[in-house]
Structure 1
């Protein structure tokens, strides 16, 4: 269904009737990221899957103000009000994990449990954020100048996704096809407005989170394993699981295991 929030059209899919679970995809993804898990998770959860602004069938406005990660979290709050759910579990992958964490920090009363797959609280110093912002702007300009296909060609080759090359060709082709359906403006503005360099650093506020938090990382994704190790020290009720045969995209690389881990965490 489509929901209008702050004048923007958001696309959201809803399945099941249990305790609400909001699933937030990563950069270049859309709601289809989570469809392989709907059958399992909808047995215990009302699965709510929005296309994040700039992605999928949700609008891709020109104004960067809409892409500020705190503004997006506020819109998610209003989206859930429209759907008629109060407290929710939240699962976020990569960019979606940063949004999930932002939502949990800004609106702690709305979140029961939090699952962060290959996600970070942002960059700790302004110098790091400035360097990252500059790099994200360069990549956004590349998208604007060359279009989606050359960008996806580049994105598929970054080291973060190197472990996905061993997956069946059909899986990689499906992911590529989905990425190519995104909007140039939406992806470019997401980099500029929601990139790791643009968001606030939440490192100093992790200790405010009272709820249970599950961190998931792939053993082959050393960068995010180090981030999770540091996060765990700051969280009051955090747990960390490492998936041995995965890189960054655990939900793709170890799909069955990922689905079970999420179900088990939500049902305990």
Structure 2
């Protein structure tokens, strides 16, 4: 389904039959992903409405809009209006990787709307100015590569990053589905996401963690040492955060172990 928010045509999909009396879980995918990444996860009928949104520049949501529309604050404001248009004024929020950064930003900007916050392989951003500038430069270089090469060339490069090594162990069918999802993207949308919402330019939310009111769970993979360390540092800043480390998984837990991931999420939201 589509709806226009502030001039941007957003695609969203209910992954479960919507019932107005049930709580809702809103899902944000990662970079190069779409709302369909969560379809294999939420296949059982649960006491939850599952709403997945294609974030700006991805999937079937607009990408050819003013680049400033990609800024995280604009995206969060759009999601707030989209959910209100659907009659949802309080919900749980799940984000993966880039989507986790956006979900944390949303929870900081609209604390009254988020009941439970689940960050899968997420980060509050970068603290130091030097680190931010280095990452910004790296994101700009990758965006330039995307704009100057066919999407197939970029996907080949992206799939072979060490961060996604453990994804090569999933079934061939799942790998093909993931590859098709990545190949469906448009270069301009991916590049704008890096330029205007990449880790190097996003707001630093480290100092905001202590103010997060939502009951929060950080999910990380056992093989993803970097994001385990980030999760532990986040918990030091906000001791109320819980951490779930999933055995024998890397960065994308919901892809590598969808049933385990679904059980963790549903148990957390419905507890």
TM-score by length of 1: 0.97
**How far does residue 236 in structure 1 lie from its aligned partner after superposition?**
4.5
Contact 2:221 2:253 in 1 (8 A): yes
Higher helix share: 1
Shift of 1:32: 0.5
CA contact (8 A) 2:126 2:132 kept: yes
Structure 2: distance between partners of 1:160 and 1:11:
28
Which whole-Å CA distance do the structure 1 matches of 2:65 and 2:153 have between them?
A: 21
Alpha-carbon separation, structure 1, partners of 2:143 and 2:201 = 13
**Alignment partner, residue 33 of structure 2:** 29
Moved more, 109-118 or 168-177: 168-177
Aligned to 2:74: 71
Q: Determine if the alignment matches structure 1 residue 125 to structure 2 residue 113.
A: no
Stretches of structure 1 lacking an aligned partner (at least 5 in a row) = none
In structure 2, how many angstroms separate the alpha carbons of the residues matched to 1:134 and 1:22? 32
Indicate whether 1:52 and 2:52 are aligned. Answer: no
Q: Deviations over 1:111-170 (max 9, x none)?
A: 000000000000011211111111111111111110211000000000100111122222
Question: Is 2:6 aligned against 1:6?
Answer: yes
Choose which of 195, 204, 207 in structure 2 pairs with 1:192.
195
The 10-residue stretch of structure 1 (234-243 or 94-103) with the greater mean CA deviation from structure 2: 234-243
1:1-268 aligned at under 5 Å gives the runs: 1-14=1-14, 15-16=16-17, 17=19, 18-40=22-44, 42-268=45-271
Which portions of structure 1, spanning 4 or more consecutive aligned residues, are displaced by more than 4 angstroms? none
* TM-score normalized with structure 2 length: 0.96
Asked if the contact 2:219–2:246 (Cα under 8 Å) also holds between the matched residues in 1, the reply is yes
Secondary structure at 2:43 match in 1:
helix
Q: How many residue pairs end up in the alignment?
A: 267
Q: Distance in 2 between matches of 1:52 and 1:239?
A: 26
Shift of 1:210: 2.1
Gaps in structure 2 of 5+ consecutive residues: none
Cα distance in 1 for residues equivalent to 2:168 and 2:138: 25
Deviations 1:173-209 (A, max 9, x none): 1100111001111111111111001101100110001
Q: How big is the alpha-carbon RMSD for the aligned residues of Structure 1 and Structure 2?
A: 1.0
Whether the aligned pair in 2 keeps the contact of 1:210 and 1:237 (CA below 8 Å) is no
Residue 70 of structure 1: CA displacement?
1.1
1 CA distance for matches of 2:268 and 2:189?
Answer: 33
